[in-house]
């Protein structure tokens, strides 16, 4: 880790993000809410601006030069996502409006098409609502049942409990690659192998995993893998779903409209091949270009170097916060990404976050769209600091000092 950290120039990286020069309440911005949404580098801002200024048109249908240019850039963005995830084909990459949309697509098109009464969907206790509520909706529509996979007190995936739950009724397993609350990196490859051995499919919420882990969907053997652009330094309103081609080809459409059809008559319609089948209407053209620019930016810095840097900041912040009396870190898994959630006896997370904001430090307070996990961990809410490739040790120190100061005021 040390060698990779030394070669990663975080101060140079920070200069690529204009917003980091902002002051809040007269203090330098310390942005530690990256698990909710990360900031955008100049490369992304410039790529999207140039697209609007010089080469914007609707894609796929225009028989003129500008449309051809826009279509080329849009499909090149799909290839960039394919490369980033190591999918076998760009046809396995479906653009969506985000990770939530991608997971809902699977719930609608796969789960509701193939599940029947009594089938079981296994979902971990630590899931974001986006990887729980769609399965509940699918269960209500089909008569299937959602069952929770336990996590341990440390926030790790309980593999023994999981394997005991597997059986012929289990048709689908949904798991986050990395918890947005605990930072736990789940053993997805091992989970997928066990799920497949039991005859089930696996859906992976990769919205955090794609930011903090090296992703290879073929090595993981994921059936579906969802990502979102805004957490990986790209724009909002764009995400992607990877799906194995042989599965996508069996699925009905998600939405109806233009571009997802082969033929239309008043009597019936037939569907285009994937991925067009799942991309009805005018797509997120400029956003896709922005997502590709963000991925190119991350890959140019070096995924391993970024992860080593983030691990160093996480380790430093964890050590500093652990020394604060009364503070309990929620989620102490051996394999963690750059997220720390914590609770403090006698102090509400929202009060801590408000006082930190007065010092220019942006963190998140609440249940983080994971209410069942809060119940499991015995808290109603936590304060969460989440790190990014531009986070620094100095910011970790500012966080710890800010928490200590907030607690002194609250007590």
Report the C-alpha gap between 58 and 225 in whole angstroms: 27
Report the C-alpha gap between 401 and 388 in whole angstroms: 20
Cβ–Cβ < 8 Å for 392, 411: no
Report the C-alpha gap between 307 and 299 in whole angstroms: 12
Q: Which residue has the tokens 């000092």?
A: 401
213 among known catalytic residues: no
Q: Which of 291, 185, 285 is nearest to 234 (CA)?
A: 291
For residue 264, which phi and psi values (nearest 5 degrees)? -135, 130
Catalytic entry in 109, 207, 213, 369: 369
Report the C-alpha gap between 286 and 263 in whole angstroms: 28
| Residue 377: both structure tokens together | 């961990």
For residue 335, which phi and psi values (nearest 5 degrees)? -105, 110
Three-state helix/strand/coil letters over the chain = CHHHHHCCCHHHHHCCCHHHHCEECCEECEECECCCCCCCCHHHHHHHHHHHHHCCCCCCCCCCHHHHHHHHHHHHHHHHHHHHHCCCCHHHEEEECCHHHHHHHHHHHHHHHHCCCCCEEEEECCCCHHHCHHHHHHHHHHCCEEEEECECCCCCECHHHHHHHCCCCEEEEEEECECCCCCEECCHHHHHHHHHHCCCEEEEECCCHHHHCCCCHHHHCCCEEEEECHHHCCCCCCEEEEECHHHHCCCCCCCCCCCCEEEECCCCEEECCCCHHHCCCCCCHHHHHHHHHHHHHHHHHCHHHHHHHHHHHHHHHHHHHHCCCCEEEECCCCCECCEEEEEECCECHHHHHHHHHCCCEECEEECCCCHHHHHHHCCCCEEEEECCCCCCHHHHHHHHHHHHHHHHHHC
Q: Which active-site residues does the annotation give?
A: 369
């Amino acid at each position: 880790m040390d060698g990779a950290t030394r070669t990663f120039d975080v101060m140079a990286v920070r200069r690529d993000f204009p917003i980091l020069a902002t002051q809040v309440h007269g203090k330098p911005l310390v942005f530690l809410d990256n698990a909710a949404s990360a900031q955008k580098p100049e490369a992304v801002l410039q790529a999207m601006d140039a697209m609007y200024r010089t080469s914007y048109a609707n894609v796929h249908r225009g028989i003129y030069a500008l449309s051809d240019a826009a279509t080329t850039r849009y499909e090149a963005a799909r290839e960039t996502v394919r490369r980033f995830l190591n999918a076998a084909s760009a046809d396995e990459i479906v653009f969506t409006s985000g990770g939530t949309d991608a997971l809902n697509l699977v719930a609608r098109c796969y789960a509701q098409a193939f599940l029947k009464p009594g089938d079981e969907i296994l979902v971990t206790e630590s899931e974001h609502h986006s990887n729980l509520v769609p399965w509940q909706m699918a269960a209500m529509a089909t008569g299937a049942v959602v069952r929770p996979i336990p996590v341990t007190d440390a926030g790790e995936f309980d593999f023994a409990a999981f394997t005991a739950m597997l059986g012929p009724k289990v048709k689908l397993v949904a798991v986050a690659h990395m918890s947005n609350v605990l930072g736990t990196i789940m053993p997805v490859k091992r989970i997928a192998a066990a799920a497949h051995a039991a005859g089930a499919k696996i859906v992976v919420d990769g919205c955090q995993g794609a930011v903090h882990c090296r992703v290879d969907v073929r090595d993981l053997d994921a059936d579906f893998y969802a990502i979102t652009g805004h957490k990986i330094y790209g724009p909002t309103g764009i995400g992607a779903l990877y799906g194995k081609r042989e599965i996508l080809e069996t699925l009905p459409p998600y939405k109806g409209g233009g571009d997802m059809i082969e033929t239309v008559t008043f009597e019936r319609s037939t569907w285009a091949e994937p991925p067009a089948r799942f991309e009805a209407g005018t797509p997120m053209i400029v956003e896709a270009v922005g997502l590709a620019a963000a991925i190119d930016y991350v890959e140019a810095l070096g995924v391993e170097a970024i992860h080593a840097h983030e691990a160093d900041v996480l380790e430093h912040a964890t050590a500093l916060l652990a020394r604060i009396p009364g503070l309990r870190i929620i989620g102490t898994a051996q394999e963690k990404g750059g997220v720390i959630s914590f609770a403090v006896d006698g102090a509400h997370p929202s009060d801590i976050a408000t006082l930190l904001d007065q010092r220019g430090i942006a963190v998140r307070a609440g249940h983080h769209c994971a209410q069942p996990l809060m119940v499991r961990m015995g808290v109603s809410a936590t304060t969460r600091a989440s790190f990014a490739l531009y986070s620094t040790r100095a910011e970790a120190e500012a966080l710890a000092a800010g928490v200590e100061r907030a607690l002194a005021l609250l007590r």
